Amino acid sequence: MASERIRFDIITLFPQIFPGYLGESLLAKAIERDLVHVHVHNLRDWSREKHHKVDAPPYGGGPGMLIQVEPVVECVEAVRELDTDPGELILLSPQGQTLRQRVVSQLANQTRLILLCGRYEGFDQRIVDILQPREISLGDFILNGGEVAAMAIVDSAIRLIPGVLGDERSYAEDSFTDEATLEFPQYTRPREYRGRTVPDVLLSGNHQEIAAWRAAQRQQRTAERRRDLL
């Protein structure tokens, strides 16, 4: 069961990415209803340098810049102190554990998550060694920064907080919720469009038959598209 309320602290070099996303749809409503708290922190505020830089070239050479250890460690320590609940620190990284529904459920059980977003060529290794975060990846591809991955965690976790979705059954029926199958096909009005009609069983009013049809469709769809899940 997910927490009744989650506090997210997002540490980023680009805080302006977030307001639009936080102000829309389910997430905006969840924030308004006090089920979700989101605090965005600018990592540059912990820079020790005059122009608020937090990156430097890698020792040993190579392209790009790395995020330095001091601002990140000091920022995380300060952000942790903003609440009595220390929360779990998540570092967004392509080298982390892949985000799956099972991982989302674990994260949604927490009452506080601190999400650390990288940029450039990533982080100085000592950040991981010192802070020992849980590293999470959105998948086997490289993003420009961790912000989209942080949003994916927030977006997927809040769905599991009781009261965020209008009808809790939407979550129960979603793909992956049972860890094994994709959702069955769904239809809404009109009943017929360009010769394609809604399957009769869905109009039958027979709940048992509808449930059996949906269960069979789940299996068939998963076998066709994601045999690896079965």
Binding site for ligand SAM (CB under 6 A): 92-95, 117-119, 121-123, 137-139, 141-146, 149
Between 117 and 160, CB nearer to ligand SAM: 117
Question: From the CB of 165, what's the least distance to ligand SAM, in Å?
Answer: 25
- Ranked by CB distance to ligand SAM, the top (closest) residue is 118
Q: Is 191 a catalytic residue?
A: no
Which CB, 87 or 118, lies closer to ligand SAM? Answer: 118
Q: Is 121 a catalytic residue?
A: yes
Cβ 27 vs Cβ 154: under 8 Å: yes
* Minimum CB distance to ligand SAM smaller for 35 or for 43: 43
Instruction: Report the nearest approach of ligand SAM to the CB of residue 153 (Å).
Output: 9
- Which of 121, 135, 173, 183 is catalytic? The answer is 121
Q: Is 145 exposed, middle or buried (0-12, 13-18, 19+ CB in 10 A)?
A: middle
Pick the catalytic residue from 70, 83, 88, 174. 174
Contact, 6 vs 112, CB < 8 A? yes
| Closer of 119 and 218 to ligand SAM (Cβ) | 119
Active site (annotated) includes residue 159:
yes
Q: Do the Cβ atoms of 177 and 165 come closer than 8 Å?
A: no
* Dihedral class, residue 41 (left if φ above 0, else alpha if ψ from -120 to 50, else beta): beta
Give yes or no: 100 in active site. no
Chain-centroid distance of CA 162 in Å reads 17
What is the rounded CA–CA span in Å between residue 68 and residue 119? 11
Task: Give dist(CA 19, CA 16) in Å, integer.
Answer: 6
Active-site annotation holder among 7, 112, 119, 159: 159
Active site residues: 94, 121, 159, 174
